[in-house]
Amino acid sequence: MWHDPPSPASARQKPELERLYDGHAQALYAFLLNLTRDEADTRDLLQDLFVKLAREEQMLNGVRDERAFLIRLAHNAAIDLMRRRGTRAKTRDQFAAEIISPFAPAGNPDEQTFRAGLAGALAGLPAEQRAVVHLKLWEGLTFERIAEALDIPLNTAASRYRYGLDKLRERLRPLYEEIK
């Protein structure tokens, strides 16, 4: 879900990096974890991003949508990582017994089953659809902001969401009907 960054008054009291971390790290973490499905990779990508922000202080000058800008950086870094891994990662994924879920554990067994099913269904989506679905559903971004963040046309963002959601709906229908 979309969380507004801290107010400027409280932001001024903190160093810039801490402000950025507190305002955006949770969203970036969930997004990266949903893309990479690997906590160590997510940690590395998140750290690289903040190292980059520390080294290049002018980077955010003139940026009007900080969250969208940071998501774009995170997305590009994750896509680069996945491309570098390429075939090795695909093979590893095929043999991986457990899918790392981007969702918090649930107390209710039905909910836990649904979340596990949802994590599996999301993992089955192409990365570009997964990114749009994540930003729309759990970041609450509009298609305009998603398009800006991922550097894609607005229609592409909308169609990727529709295709991704249709696939999730199809895969999760039995579970959803059961717990509805």
Partner 1 sequence: MNMDDFEHKLQRQPLRQVPAGWREEILAAAEVNRRNRPVREFTFAAATFRRLRSTLNAQLSAILWPHPKAWAGLAAVWVVILAADFSVRDKSPVMAEKSAPPSPEVMVELKQQQRMLVELIGLRDTRAADRAKPLVPQPRSERAEILMT
The footprint of partner 1 (CB under 8 A) covers: 1, 17-18, 21, 25-26, 29-30, 33, 43, 46-47, 50-51, 53-59, 76, 80, 83-84, 86-87, 101-104, 114-115, 118, 137-138, 143, 158, 165, 168-169, 172, 176, 180
The C-alpha atoms of residue 40 and residue 46 are separated, in whole angstroms, by: 10
> Would you give the distance in Å from CA 10 to the centre of its chain?
26
Least distance from partner 1 to the Cβ atom of residue 97, Å: 19
CA pseudo-torsion sign 136, 141, 147, 151: negative
Name the phi and psi angles at 41, rounded to 5: -65, -40
Least distance from partner 1 to the Cβ atom of residue 8, Å: 20
**Between 96 and 166, CB nearer to partner 1:** 166
**Between 53 and 68, CB nearer to partner 1:** 53
Q: Which of 40, 35, 66 is nearest to 53 (CA)?
A: 66
Assess contact for 31 and 131: CB atoms under 8 A. Answer: yes
**Between 1 and 9, CB nearer to partner 1:** 1
The C-alpha atoms of residue 103 and residue 114 are separated, in whole angstroms, by: 11
**Between 12 and 83, CB nearer to partner 1:** 83
